[in-house]
Amino acid sequence: MGLRWINEQDLKAIRAQADIVDIMSRYLSLSKKGKNYEALCPFHDDHDPSLSISTDKQIFKCFVCGAGGDVFGFVQKIENISFPEAVAKVAEMIGYPLAMPTSAYKPKADPNQSYYDILQAYISYMQYELKSEAGTLALDYLHRRKLNEDVLYRFEIGYAPDIQASQKYFDAKQYDAKTLKELGLIQNGHALFHDRFVIPIHDANGHPIGFTARKLTNTGDEPKYINSPQTKLYEKGHVIFNYHRAKTFAHKAHRVILVEGAMD
C-alpha cells in the first residue's frame, strides 16, 4: 500500500484531530505526570515507566530503548503495520472520513462486519448504561473491585440493565430477532444479559464476538457468571480473552501469563 493514496490535507487533519493520549490509552495504561503522561514502554522489557508522552508536542519518546514518534508512528509500531495502514486505523478511531481512491489497496470485505457492528453498538449502549442512574450499583461494585476508569474504558466494560430496558434498546435499533439469537444476545425471546456488568470478548483481530457477565450480588440461584453461547463468531475453546491487546507485549516479552477468568 503506497503513500500516494493518502491526501496530504487528510493527513494533516487526522494528525490535528487525533489526541495521542487518547489513542495510546487504548493500548497502554497511562499515568499523568504534570501536564504530560508516562507509561511502561511496550517496545522493550520495561519495569519502570520510561515512556513519556508530550501533550503539547503530541509525541511519545522512550528514554531507554529510543522508540519515539507521533501518533501514527506509535500505532504503526505497536500494531506492526505499514504507515498508511496506521493512518487509516487512527482515522477510524477518531471517526475521520478518510477517502480512499479506487486505485488504492482495499482489504477484502469481512462478511461478518455487520455482526461486529451490532455487537460494538451493544457495547457502547452498555457503557452508557454503566454511567447512568440505572448503572449506579454496578459502577459502585466495580469501583469496590478496584477497577478504575482507565480499566473500564480500555476493556469497554458496561452494564446490561433489566430485561425491559434491554428489549427496548433492541427494538429501537430495529435488530432482527433471528440475528440477535445468532449472536447470543437473546435467549428464549429475552435479553440474555440483564442486571449484570458485562465484559466484551474479542477475537485475535480485536473484533467483538461475545461477552462474559457477572451478577452484582452473590445471592439467589442464578449463576454468578454467564457467558455468550457458542455462535458463528464465538467458539470458547478457540478464543483467549484479551489476546488482541496482549499479543504485542507477549511477543516482545517472549512470555505470556494465563489466568482463569476475565476478572483475574
CATH (one of 3.90.580.10, 3.60.20.10, 3.30.457.10, 3.30.465.10) for 3-94: 3.90.580.10
What pLDDT score was predicted for residue 3? 47
pLDDT at 144 over 80: yes
**Residue 230 is which amino acid?**
Q
pLDDT at 18 over 70: yes
pTM assigned to the model: 0.65
The owner of cell 440475528 is 179
Distance, CA of 120 to CA of 137 (rounded, Å): 23
The pLDDT tens digits of the residues spanning 42-99 come to 888 888 899 999 999 999 999 999 999 999 999 999 988 888 889 989 998 998 988 6
Residue extents of the structural domains in the chain? 3-94, 113-253
Indicate the average pLDDT of the chain: 89
pLDDT at 4 over 60: no
Distance, CA of 90 to CA of 13 (rounded, Å): 11
Measured from the Cβ of residue 88, the count of other Cβ atoms closer than 10 Å reads: 23
pLDDT at 132 over 50: yes
What's the pLDDT band for 101 if we cut at 50, 70, 90?
low
* C-alpha cell belonging to residue 15: 494528525
Contact 102, 6 (CB under 8 A): no
The pLDDT tens digits of the residues spanning 170-227 come to 999 999 999 999 999 999 889 999 999 999 999 988 899 999 999 998 887 889 999 9
22-36, 100-114, 237-251: segment of lowest average pLDDT = 100-114
Q: Is 96 helix (H, G, I), strand (E, B) or coil?
A: coil
Taking residues 157-172, what's their average pLDDT? 94
What pLDDT score was predicted for residue 80? 85
Contact 40, 52 (CB under 8 A): no
What pLDDT score was predicted for residue 102? 46
What pLDDT score was predicted for residue 5? 63
CATH superfamily of 113-253: DNA primase, catalytic core, N-terminal domain (3.90.980.10)
**Residue 241 is which amino acid?**
F
What's the pLDDT band for 263 if we cut at 50, 70, 90?
confident
